[in-house]
């Protein structure tokens, strides 16, 4: 039987100072993280700004916590004259387990291409960091009936680095649902995540059944249950609601009730 863990991943984006980040952890930890830690099939991660990775790393070690650290970006070169960038090795220093690659805010605002995203994912896996590859369509693509073609093309281009064996996570994040408070329905999320798994299966065979596919876009404590009930939705990437430790705690607790898929 194939068993995929339920992953609940916070994406803090450009939010939280050191004091705020540690304060968040102190509130979140006792109510949700301990419970999640007892369940081997639930993985909780926080993708934080670079500036708070070290203090969180220290705080998580002090708590002997199973909550994992994630970053929100990485550069594809190992070192050199790349002002403002950060390497996978630098992220490794804080036991960063995940890195978000190709978030739509970077694809849209900073014109990150799928080729760049693929190179970033490749640098991450080389350093032993699991990329959380984000794909998703704009509202015009969806209205134009081009959802599946769009997802397939974005996946193929962004996964050019992949040898079909390395561990990756894919997040389906419809651009129109991100930060808008307008979530996809569970049926929409299942359709897209199911299609992503089909594309991964064409590419990597049975390996696709072991890849966690997350949904992201307007996830809240209210809608997480129905999203996680979808057979191909293995977890959630949570932006706005993850900033509040109580709300993210409720989302994690909902994940703890899920049966493994």
Pick the catalytic residue from 112, 137, 173, 190: 173
Angle at 151 between CA 149 and CA 152, to 5 degrees: 65
CB of 220 to ligand PEP, least distance (A): 8
Nearer to ligand PEP, 100 or 204 (CB): 100
Q: Does 208 bind ligand PEP (CB under 6 A)?
A: no
**19 close to 247: Cβ distance less than 8 angstroms:** no
CA neighbours closer than 13 Å in the CB half-sphere of residue 3: 9
Among 196, 219, 224, 254, binds ligand PEP (CB under 6 A): 219
**CB of 161 closer than 8 Å to CB of 125:** yes
103 is catalytic: yes
Annotation says 173 is catalytic = yes
The one segment of 28-36, 63-71, 171-179, 199-207 that binds ligand PEP by CB under 6 A: 171-179
Which two structure tokens, joined as six digits, stand for 78? 């190992």
Alpha helices of the chain — where are they, by DSSP H? 18-28, 34-37, 50-62, 88-92, 104-109, 114-126, 139-143, 147-158, 186-204, 224-228, 245-256
Stretch that binds ligand PEP, among 16-24, 58-66, 191-199, 217-225 (CB under 6 A): 217-225
- The residue nearest ligand PEP at its CB is 239
Catalytic site positions: 103, 173
Site for ligand PEP, rule CB under 6 A:
11, 173, 178-179, 216-219, 237-241
């Amino acid at each position: 039987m194939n068993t995929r863990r339920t992953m609940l991943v916070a994406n803090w984006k450009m939010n939280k100072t050191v004091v705020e980040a540690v304060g968040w952890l102190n509130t979140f930890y006792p109510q949700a993280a301990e419970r999640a830690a007892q369940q081997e099939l639930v993985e909780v991660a926080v993708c934080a700004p670079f500036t708070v990775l070290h203090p969180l790393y220290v705080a998580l070690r002090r708590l002997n916590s199973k909550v994992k650290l994630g970053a929100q970006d990485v550069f594809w070169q190992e070192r050199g004259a790349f002002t403002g960038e950060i390497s996978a090795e630098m992220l490794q220093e804080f036991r960063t387990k995940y890195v978000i690659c190709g978030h739509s805010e970077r694809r849209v605002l900073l014109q990150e291409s799928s080729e760049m995203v693929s190179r970033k994912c490749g640098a991450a896996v080389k350093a032993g960091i699991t990329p959380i590859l984000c794909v998703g369509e704009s509202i015009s693509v969806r209205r134009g009936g081009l959802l599946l073609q769009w997802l397939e093309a974005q996946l193929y281009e962004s996964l050019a680095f992949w040898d079909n064996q390395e561990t990756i996570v894919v997040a389906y994040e419809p651009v129109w649902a991100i930060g808008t408070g307008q979530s996809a329905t569970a049926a929409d999320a299942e359709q897209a995540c199911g299609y992503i798994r089909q594309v991964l299966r064409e590419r990597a065979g049975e390996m696709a059944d072991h890849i966690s596919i997350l949904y992201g876009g307007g996830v809240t404590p209210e809608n997480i249950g129905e999203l996680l009930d979808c057979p191909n939705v293995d977890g959630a990437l949570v932006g706005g609601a993850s900033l509040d430790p109580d709300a993210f705690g409720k989302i994690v607790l909902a994940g703890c009730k899920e049966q493994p898929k």
